[in-house]
Amino acid sequence: MADEKSTILLVDDAEINIFMLEEILNDLGYETLSATSAAEATAQIKDKMPHLVLLDIMMPDINGYEFCQMLKENPRTRDIPVIFVSAAESDDEREKAFEIGGVDFIRKPFDVTEIKTRVKTHLSIFNLRSELEENNRKLNRVISEQNKKIADEKKRILKNIAALSNENQSGRSEMVAANSRMLSQALNFTEKYENKISGPFIEGIEIASMIRGIDSKLFNIFFAEDDKNVSVSAAADVVKSFSEKWDGTGEPDGLKEEEIPLAARIVSITGGFENLIEDGCGREEAFEKMKADKGIIYDPYLLDLFIRIEKQIKS
């Protein structure tokens, strides 16, 4: 017995053919819809989506090939299996039916057993594929939820490490974090980086500013280098590369210019400023010393912006 939920749309301009097909398919337990033209068939589909279409080739408005192409071009209907039912004897006609997306071709006058067998087969395939797609969607939702939980836990660990680091450094790291956030937010209003700096990216930089001195190998025990979470990825870039220099003489990899991750270039500037303040420089002196290292240690574009917003920079 057929799945009672399966609905089959019959499209044929000869009502006798529709009547015969209805008798066969209703007897098997399928629900049938009927249309004598492509326009009627389109209206039927809008009202109720079928699981299978039995389609005649010769029709009064547009032919079956054109109607099938319309179905396949529409994302909503492209997965509905289409079986062509036609009196055409030409192998070319049959080949064309498959080329435009038909799953089968039945010649008229049709055989009852053949109709039953082909319909059952293609509905079974359609239902199995639909079930597989639904299972994949459920699996992807579960994976997405698990990934979010993992990402949230990683961020929680990062924040705890950052809090501990800041406590040990008497607030210095918190100052670097605040200035890193300020510089990152300012970047979003520049022509080069307009609307490219996301909230999670800023959060990652802010956290990493507090733990930039942590051993990168220890960091990677908890956070894989290929992590796809934006916050964790930004933090990883800072931990690994904040000691790189714009001219390529830094560590650990001797990266130069924009080979250095943006997050690391930002914290290189905010961390460098805080180090100068900690060493006893006044604000103006610190800015002047940093200008002397423009294009050597620091990204010139970022440093110019840092200096432009100097009144907002904390020290």
| pLDDT in the model for residue 170 | 47
| pLDDT in the model for residue 1 | 41
**β 31-35/104-107 pair status:** unpaired
301 lies in the same domain as 189: yes
Specify the amino acid at residue 23.
E
The first and second tokens of residue 32, run together, are: 């049938």
19 lies in the same domain as 103: yes
183 lies in the same domain as 115: no
118 lies in the same domain as 73: yes
CATH code at 241? 1.10.3210.10
The C-alpha atoms of residue 93 and residue 105 are separated, in whole angstroms, by: 9
**Domain-terminating residue out of 98, 123, 139:** 139
The string of DSSP codes covering 112-132 is HHHHHHHHHHHHHHHHHHHHH
pLDDT 10s per residue in the chain (315 long)? 444 578 999 999 999 999 999 999 998 899 999 999 999 999 999 999 999 999 998 887 889 999 999 999 999 999 999 999 988 767 888 889 899 999 999 888 888 999 999 999 999 998 898 889 889 999 888 888 887 787 677 667 766 766 665 554 545 677 888 899 999 999 999 999 988 899 888 888 887 777 776 666 666 666 655 556 787 788 888 888 889 999 999 988 999 999 999 999 999 999 999 999 989 999 999 999 999 999 999 999 999 999 999 999 887
297 lies in the same domain as 205: yes
Contacts 24+ apart (CB under 8 A), 89-96: 93/57, 96/65
| pLDDT in the model for residue 203 | 85
180 lies in the same domain as 290: yes
65 lies in the same domain as 177: no
Domain that holds residue 300: 169-312
DSSP-derived secondary structure letter, 310: G
201 lies in the same domain as 277: yes
Q: Would you say residue 155 lies in a domain?
A: no
The C-alpha atoms of residue 99 and residue 158 are separated, in whole angstroms, by: 55
CA dihedral sign of residues 274, 279, 283, 287: negative
185 lies in the same domain as 263: yes
Question: Other CB atoms closer than 10 Å to residue 36's CB: what's the count?
Answer: 19
The C-alpha atoms of residue 314 and residue 223 are separated, in whole angstroms, by: 30
182 lies in the same domain as 80: no
Q: What are phi and psi of 14, to 5 degrees?
A: -100, 110
Q: What is the mean pLDDT of the chain?
A: 86
Q: Would you say residue 156 lies in a domain?
A: no
Q: Would you say residue 1 lies in a domain?
A: no
Q: Would you say residue 307 lies in a domain?
A: yes
| pLDDT in the model for residue 158 | 65
Q: Would you say residue 129 lies in a domain?
A: yes
- How many domains does the chain contain in total? 2
181 lies in the same domain as 121: no
Apex 175 CA angle, 266 and 160, nearest 5: 90
